Chain A
C-alpha cells in the first residue's frame, strides 16, 4: 500500500499529475485518485485510499454491491451501484477520499507500479508493506 509522510510533502501536486496521466493518458489532476488539499501558508495534505486492512468503507456503504474486494485484494467501486452518498469517505479513518464527479476514488497503486512514488520529488510518498 501507498504510504505518505506529510512532513516531507511540499504540495507540488506531481502525484496528481502523474496519476491522471497514467490512468487516462491526459493531464487532469481533478480526476486523479490522489488529491492535494492546501493549507496556506503551510503545506496541506493529500487524500487517497490506503487500501487499509480495516476496510471501514465497505462496512459504511449502504449499498450491497457498490464496494467490493477485487482479485488484487483491493477495494474497488462499482459505479453502477454507487449512489454517491460518500458514507465511505466519512468513515475513512485516514481522512477523506478523493472524489470525482461525486464518486469516491480508490487508489489501486497503479497495480503495483506506484507511479506517484516514482515521481514524488521529496519521497513524501513511498511504497509500504503489501
Chain B
C-alpha cells in the first residue's frame, strides 16, 4: 500500500450488487482537490454517473456514503458523514447527513467514498473489515426492525458498526431512512433506495489509521477549537443542557414555531413540551457523537403515564416539533414513543410527523372521512399519532398514502389540501415557520433537496443571534445571506464537521483544521474553500435542472405565501418569496429561470456541457 493522503482513508469502494462485484480503488487526488470529500464527492459522482430521468427505486440508481477529511479525527464534532442518492421522495438530488459513529468507522476501514450500484437478487448485507469485503446473505434478518438488526449483526461480527434499514426501507416507503448506531441518515428516503437494492445493512470494522499532515499544528488547531467551543454561549451554553431543543422557547416566542400544520398559534398544554419540561421530565443523561464535546444528544426515559418505560436517544428539537406542535400534541411520552417507532421501523421522523399533522388538518376539514382512517384523527390525539406512525411504517390503510409523502398525499386527497401540504419539491418542511423568519422561506425554496433547514440556517441571524440580528420579517439582505450560507454549509457537509461546531467556531478556524490535517494547498484559505462550496452548490443545482427543475419549482406552499402568519410576533407576515428569489438568482449568477448561466458554469470550472450555450 502506498503512502496515504493525510486526512483521508484513501479508498473508493464500489459495490455492484447486480454483478456481485466489489472493487476497492485508491482515491483520485484530483477529486479531493476539486471537491474535498462528503457532499462534494457526492455532487461530482452523481452528476457524472447518474443520467437524468432514471427511476430512483430502480437498479439504475446509485447510493453513496461519503466521509470528509475531518471525519473520524481529533477535530471536535468530526462524526459526520453523508448519504447521497436520487431521492424516491422528491425525484431530485438528496444528501442526508448523519452523526454518531458509523462514518468514522468507514473511514477507519480506509473508505472515503462507498458507491453502491445495481440490485441484489436476494437480500444481502455488506461486511467491510478493512480490505476484506464480502456480500453476505441477509434472508435471515430481512424483516427485522433496525434495533434487532443492529444487535444481531453486532453479535455475529463483534466490534462492528452497523447502518441498516428497517421494515419501512424494505417496503420501499419513500419516507424510509437509514439508521446508523442510534442516529439517522434521515431525510429523503435513502432507506427506500437501499430496500430497492435488497441491501439490508452495511457492517463495518476498521483497523486502519488516518495519517495527519502536520501533527503539532493539527493538535494545536484542535486544542484551539475545543477551547473556543467551550467559550461559546451556544456550544457550551444551553445546548449541552437542553439538547437541540435549547432553541424551543426562542423559536416559539419569535412566532416561528409551526403549530398544527402551520395554521395554529397555540394548543392546549404546549408548555409541557418545551425545553425545560424535557430536561425535567424526560432526559436521563448525555450522549455524544464521535469526538464531540458539545453533547447535544440526550437519552430519555418516559417516567410515567401511558407511555411509561419508553426509551430512546433524543427526542431532537425537530421531532419534538413534528410529533408535538405540528400535530397539536402536548403528551411528552407520546413524542418519545413516536420517535422511537420511527427509529424502530426506519422512518424519517421529520417527514412522518409533518405528514401526520397534514392528515389531521384534512380530518378537521372533513376532506377524509373517519371511516377511511379508522379512528378519530383530531389534532392533539396522541394515540392517533402513534397508530399513524405504525400504519405508515407498514403501509397499512391510510398509512400507505401518507408514506408517499405529503405532496403525493395531497394530490390524491385533493379538496384544496395542496394549499396546506407543507413541502418544497416533495420534501416535508421542518420546524421553522418562514413567515416569522423569511430568510428560511428562501432557504427552503432554494434548498437542493427540497425543504430543509440545513442548507442555510438564517434563523441564527434572524432570531437567535443576540448581537447582530437582522429583521426577520423583511427580505432585506436575505438573498445574500442564504447564498453565503448554502456555499459554506456545502463545505461543512464536505469536510465532515457538524453544523453545531459552526455556531461556536469561525470559518477561519475550520479552515485551519482542514489545512493542518491535509496539507492540501487548495484548502489553505477560506476564500478558496468558499469557491469550492459555491461549485458544489451549483453542481447539485445543475443536477436538479437536468431533471427539469427551474424557477416554478423554487416555490413555497400556498399557505406561506398567501395566508398571514397566525403568530402575534410575526405580525400578519407572509413570505416575500418572489422579491428574494429575483435577488438570489442575480447574486448566484443564475438566469431568471434559476438555471446557472454558462458564464457561472465556466467561472466555477464545472464541465456541464448540457448547460453551455
Min CB distance, B244 to chain A, in Å?
15
Q: Are A24 and B311 in contact (CB under 8 A)?
A: no
**Contact partners of B210 in chain A: CB under 8 A:** 26-28
CB under 8 Å from chain A, chain B span 302-317: 311-313
Q: Are A43 and B286 in contact (CB under 8 A)?
A: yes
Q: Are A21 and B74 in contact (CB under 8 A)?
A: yes
Q: Are B108 and A13 in contact (CB under 8 A)?
A: no
Is B35 an interface residue when CB atoms closer than 8 A count as contact? no
What is the size, in residues, of chain A's interface with B at 8 Å between Cβ atoms? 27
Q: Are B285 and A27 in contact (CB under 8 A)?
A: no
Q: Which of B73, B182, B208 contacts A41 (CB 8 A)?
A: B182
Contacts A12-B292, A30-B206 given; indicate if A25 touches B215 (C-beta within 8 A). yes
Is A51 an interface residue when CB atoms closer than 8 A count as contact? no
> Considering the chains assembled together, what is the distance between the CA atoms of A10 and B73 in angstroms?
17
Q: Which of A14, A26, A30, A40 contacts B291 (CB 8 A)?
A: A14
CB-CB nearest in chain A for B289: A12
CB under 8 Å from chain B, chain A span 25-79: 25-31, 38, 40-43
Q: Are A17 and B313 in contact (CB under 8 A)?
A: no
Min CB distance, B108 to chain A, in Å?
6
**Contact partners of B564 in chain A: CB under 8 A:** none
CB-CB nearest in chain A for B298: A41
Q: Are B288 and A12 in contact (CB under 8 A)?
A: yes
Min CB distance, B257 to chain A, in Å?
26
Min CB distance, A106 to chain B, in Å?
19
The winner among B72, B209, B300 for most chain A CB atoms within 10 A is B209
Interface flags for B209-228 (1: CB within 8 Å of A; 0: not) read: 11110010001000000100
CB-CB nearest in chain A for B207: A30
Q: Are B74 and A18 in contact (CB under 8 A)?
A: yes
**Contact partners of A20 in chain B: CB under 8 A:** 209
Is B148 an interface residue when CB atoms closer than 8 A count as contact? no
Q: Are A12 and B291 in contact (CB under 8 A)?
A: yes
Q: Are A30 and B205 in contact (CB under 8 A)?
A: yes
CB-CB nearest in chain A for B219: A21
CB-CB nearest in chain B for A24: B209
> Considering the chains assembled together, what is the distance between the CA atoms of A11 and B161 in angstroms?
14
Is A93 an interface residue when CB atoms closer than 8 A count as contact? no
**Contact partners of B293 in chain A: CB under 8 A:** 12, 14, 121
Q: Which of B211, B287, B289 contacts A26 (CB 8 A)?
A: B211
Q: Are A28 and B101 in contact (CB under 8 A)?
A: no
Is B480 an interface residue when CB atoms closer than 8 A count as contact? no
> Considering the chains assembled together, what is the distance between the CA atoms of A18 and B212 in angstroms?
13
Q: Which of B74, B108, B181, B212 contacts A38 (CB 8 A)?
A: B181
Min CB distance, A10 to chain B, in Å?
4
CB-CB nearest in chain A for B208: A28
Min CB distance, B519 to chain A, in Å?
15
> Considering the chains assembled together, what is the distance between the CA atoms of A122 and B285 in angstroms?
13
**Contact partners of B285 in chain A: CB under 8 A:** 42-43
Is B290 an interface residue when CB atoms closer than 8 A count as contact? yes
**Contact partners of A28 in chain B: CB under 8 A:** 108, 207-210
The 6 closest A-B pairs by CB, nearest first: A26-B209, A28-B209, A121-B293, A12-B288, A10-B288, A41-B299
Contacts from A to B (Cβ < 8 Å) = 10-14, 17-18, 20-21, 24-31, 38, 40-43, 100-101, 119, 121-122
16 A-B residue pairs with CB within 8 Å:
A10-B292, A11-B287, A12-B288, A12-B290, A18-B74, A24-B209, A25-B212, A26-B209, A27-B210, A27-B212, A38-B101, A40-B313, A41-B287, A42-B284, A100-B207, A119-B74
